């Protein structure tokens, strides 16, 4: 008492000094702050009560704590363009919010929560986002939003228009006015390739399976900007089609579109007639497999013999999918011929039937003229001539058996010609080759060949202690050794015989005087039974003496060549001597005795070889020279 006055101070400035005194003794001053601003943050607001100057006024202090909306928000590292499916770190900074702002990231109206982290620093809040843009994010906004929830409508945001570059997104579809289930041969087909890409597509290619398709108007293949046209399609046009687009980011392939072409049935395997061999009363199983789209509805079988075609009863064959199986049994010779099979589907009937030739067959005959045409250290080449195939296709076989164990070292077959080549065989071994032909009915008789081990030239590396020989070489060497032994034996026998004769002559040689004495000659012929005596062959003169007793028969010894002379007494030859010459042999041949003229029973032949004498002595001895006119004069010097 008195009642106080109430005054409001902002810092030291009076902002309101009006007050109201109520009947109950309470004084009230209500302060209205119409424009509280960011400048009033932490400002001191004082309410002071004073009723007299005699006492100090009472005051109450109030510090203003103001909630402030964010002043700004900004995405810091905006890029001009981004690549899809790559990771980028993006920051957003919000400033001026009290308390700190709540920063959130938004893309296409959807908040990104998992990849964002917030940090506060003084009066700012920083949020980091790990951004992986997708192709779908192209030309969309990335929004960084800052909000103070304590302040109504205190939301600000920053936007980033995304330019996302990505590999093309390609979609392929068949022409909209085509029914994929009813495309048949001769129809026209087109495909549409839809491409979405940033940057734009540089190249577009088409594929059938893995094979690239090129523009070929003459073949009915037309390529335009994003479409493929196939004119007059055939069954070969069926398959999976796709398109491939390129840009700076890479390439991408579209979804495959399968093109199915409906066509009439045709044989799965094209041939001029498969041959089947059979015996009478033997059942043959024939399978007719066709290729058709859609699958065939029914099959028909026919038998053709001598131009007459008859249908086979359906009870003899079965149908499963694209295959019909016929069980055919020939009973007579007329049942062998050609069997035909046709199929039909919704497109039409098979134009060219499947043919099967049924023949009376048996085992093939044996191979002929088989021989080893080449055998080397590591290769063996065998050729034969084929025999009759038995009416069926035949296959040729060769088995290589090692000797003597008969272990199989190789088994070779040939489908066309009976020519066989085997490699990597041990050349040190011998082999037996068994060759034969076989068909569906059995195999032929076997033909057997033998090979001999071939040893390559040895390389000299040191002193060899053993020489391995093949059996054939050992046989040849043995025969050669036996022949050499026989020849050596004959030569030795002849040499010994001759040596024995020579030894007898050398043991009792006739003296020079005795040759000219009747007694010596007679004794020589009688004792030694010699027909001929040849003096030393050292000189160019050889005297042969045929010593032959009267009344003795011809000597048939083949080693002695006889020398026949006119059997005249020596005295007759003595009468032919030249007058005036000294005929005393003691003086002419002082060192050699002579044979006296009384040796009438002995014929002596002198030939200019082997007699040791001076030329003067020979001239002086012309008078006793014995001359013969016989034509059968022969020489033998053994």
pLDDT per position as a tens digit, 236-281: 899 999 999 999 999 999 999 999 999 989 998 876 677 788 888 8
As given in the structure block, the two tokens for residue 224 are: 């335009």
CB neighbour class for 285 (10 Å; exposed up to 12, middle 13-18, buried from 19): exposed
pLDDT reported for residue 507: 56
- CA separation for the pair 451, 402 (Å, rounded): 10
Residue with the two structure tokens 């290619």:
205
pLDDT in tens, 27-38: 898 888 778 888
Interstrand relation of 141-147 and 155-161 (parallel, antiparallel or unpaired) = antiparallel
Grouping H, G, I as helix, E, B as strand and the rest as coil, residue 425 is coil
Q: Find out whether the peptide bond into 87 is cis, omega within 30 degrees of 0.
A: no
Instruction: Spell out where 132-214 has E strands.
Output: 141-147, 155-161, 164-174, 189-198, 203-208, 211-213
Instruction: Answer whether residue 102 shows pLDDT above 50.
Output: yes
- CA separation for the pair 243, 228 (Å, rounded): 9
- CA separation for the pair 8, 43 (Å, rounded): 13
pLDDT in tens, 528-568: 443 433 333 333 333 333 333 334 444 445 554 554 444 44
Please name the residues in contact with 88: beta carbons below 8 A apart, sequence gap of 6 or more. Answer: 79, 82, 130, 131, 132, 133
Give Cα separations from 86 to 111, 113, 201, 247 (angstroms).
20, 19, 20, 17
As given in the structure block, the two tokens for residue 476 are: 């040849």
H or E element, residue 527: helix 518-528
* One-character DSSP codes across 287-308: EEEEEEES--SEEEEEEEETTE
Give Cα separations from 368 to 361, 382, 416 (angstroms).
20, 12, 15
Least confident of 199-208, 400-409, 596-605: 596-605
Instruction: Answer whether residue 626 shows pLDDT above 60.
Output: no
Cα 523 off chain centre by = 98
Mean pLDDT of 141-164: 92
- CA separation for the pair 499, 506 (Å, rounded): 10
Mean pLDDT of 86-91: 93
Q: Tell me 235's DSSP state.
A: G
Residue with the two structure tokens 């037996």:
432
The residue with greater pLDDT, 617 or 200, is 200
Domains of the chain plus CATH, in order, are 5-63 (no CATH), 72-162 (2.60.40.10), 166-259 (2.60.40.10), 267-360 (2.60.40.10), 368-451 (2.60.40.10), 509-620 (no CATH)
- CA separation for the pair 612, 515 (Å, rounded): 14
pLDDT in tens, 487-534: 998 999 888 888 887 766 665 555 444 444 444 434 444 344 434 333
Q: Tell me 105's DSSP state.
A: E
**Residue 343 · residue 299 · CB < 8 Å:** yes
β partners of residue 407: 402
- CA separation for the pair 335, 5 (Å, rounded): 141
pLDDT reported for residue 509: 52
β partners of residue 381: 374, 421
The model's pTM: 0.47
H or E element, residue 480: helix 471-507
pLDDT in tens, 383-400: 999 888 887 788 999 999
Grouping H, G, I as helix, E, B as strand and the rest as coil, residue 247 is strand
Residue with the two structure tokens 């067959």:
361
How many other β-carbons are positioned within 10 Å of the β-carbon of residue 295? 13
pLDDT reported for residue 359: 84
**Residue 16 · residue 29 · CB < 8 Å:** yes
Q: How confident is the model at residue 319 (pLDDT cuts 50, 70, 90)?
A: very high
Instruction: Answer whether residue 638 shows pLDDT above 80.
Output: no
Instruction: Answer whether residue 586 shows pLDDT above 80.
Output: no
- CA separation for the pair 512, 524 (Å, rounded): 12
Give me the chain's average pLDDT, please: 78
Q: How far apart are the first and last CA of the chain?
A: 194
Grouping H, G, I as helix, E, B as strand and the rest as coil, residue 536 is coil
- CA separation for the pair 428, 430 (Å, rounded): 7
- CA separation for the pair 429, 380 (Å, rounded): 12
């Amino acid at each position: 008492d008195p009642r106080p006055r109430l005054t409001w101070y902002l810092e030291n400035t009076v902002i309101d000094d009006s007050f109201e005194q109520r009947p109950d003794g309470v004084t009230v001053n209500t302060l209205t702050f119409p424009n509280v601003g960011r400048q009033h943050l932490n400002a001191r607001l004082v309410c002071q009560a004073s009723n007299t100057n005699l006492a100090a006024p009472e005051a109450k202090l109030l510090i203003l704590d103001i909630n402030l909306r964010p002043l700004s928000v900004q995405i810091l590292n905006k890029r001009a363009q981004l690549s899809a499916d790559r990771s980028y770190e993006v920051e957003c900074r919000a400033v001026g919010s009290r308390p700190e702002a709540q920063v959130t990231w938004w893309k296409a109206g959807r908040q990104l929560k998992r990849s964002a982290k917030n940090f506060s620093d003084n009066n700012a809040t920083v949020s980091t986002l790990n951004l992986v843009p997708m192709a779908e994010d192209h030309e969309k906004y990335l929004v960084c939003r800052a909000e103070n929830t304590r302040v109504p409508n205190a939301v600000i945001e920053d936007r980033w228009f995304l330019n996302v570059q990505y590999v093309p997104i390609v979609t392929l579809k068949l022409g909209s006015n085509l029914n994929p289930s009813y495309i048949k041969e001769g129809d026209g087909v087109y495909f549409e390739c839809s491409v979405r890409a940033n940057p734009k597509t540089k190249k577009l290619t088409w594929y059938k399976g893995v094979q690239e398709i090129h523009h070929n108007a003459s073949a009915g293949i037309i390529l335009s900007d994003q479409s493929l046209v196939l004119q007059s399609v055939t069954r070969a046009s069926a398959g999976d089609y796709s398109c491939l687009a390129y840009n700076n980011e890479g390439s991408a392939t579209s979804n495959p579109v399968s093109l199915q072409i409906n066509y009439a049935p045709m044989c799965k395997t094209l041939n001029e007639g498969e041959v089947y061999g059979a015996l009478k009363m033997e059942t043959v199983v024939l399978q007719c497999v066709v290729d058709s789209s859609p699958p065939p509805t029914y099959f028909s079988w026919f038998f053709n013999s001598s131009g007459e075609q008859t249908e086979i009863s359906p009870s003899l064959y079965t149908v499963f999918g694209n295959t019909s199986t016929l069980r055919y049994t020939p009973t007579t010779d007329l049942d062998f011929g050609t069997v035909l099979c046709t199929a039909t589907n919704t497109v039409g009937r098979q134009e060219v039937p499947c043919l099967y030739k049924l023949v009376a067959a048996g085992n093939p005959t044996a191979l002929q003229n088989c021989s080893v045409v080449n055998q080397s250290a590591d290769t063996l080449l065998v050729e034969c001539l084929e025999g009759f195939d038995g009416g069926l296709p035949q296959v040729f076989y060769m088995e290589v058996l090692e000797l003597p164990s008969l272990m199989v070292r190789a088994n070779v077959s040939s489908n066309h010609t009976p020519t066989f080549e085997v490699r990597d065989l041990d050349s040190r071994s011998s082999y037996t080759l068994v060759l034969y032909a076989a068909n569906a009915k059995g195999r032929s008789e076997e033909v057997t060949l033998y090979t001999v081990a071939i040893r390559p030239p040895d390389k000299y590396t040191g002193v060899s202690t053993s020489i391995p020989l093949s059996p054939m070489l050992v046989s040849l060497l043995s025969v050669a050794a036996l022949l050499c032994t026989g020849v050596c034996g004959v030569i030795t026998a002849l040499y010994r015989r001759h040596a024995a004769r020579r030894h007898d002559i050398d043991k009792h040689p006739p003296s020079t005087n005795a040759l000219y004495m009747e007694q010596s000659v007679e004794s020589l012929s009688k004792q030694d039974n010699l027909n001929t005596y040849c003096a030393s062959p050292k000189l160019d003169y050889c005297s042969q003496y045929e010593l032959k007793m009267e009344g003795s028969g011809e000597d048939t010894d083949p080693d002695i060549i006889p020398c026949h002379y006119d059997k005249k007494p020596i005295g007759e030859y003595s009468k032919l001597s030249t007058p005036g010459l000294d005929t005393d042999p003691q003086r002419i041949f002082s060192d050699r005795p002579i044979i006296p003229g009384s040796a009438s029973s002995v014929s002596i032949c002198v030939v200019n070889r082997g007699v040791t004498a001076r030329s003067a002595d020979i001239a002086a001895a012309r008078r006793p020279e014995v001359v013969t006119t016989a034509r059968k004069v022969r020489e033998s010097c053994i």
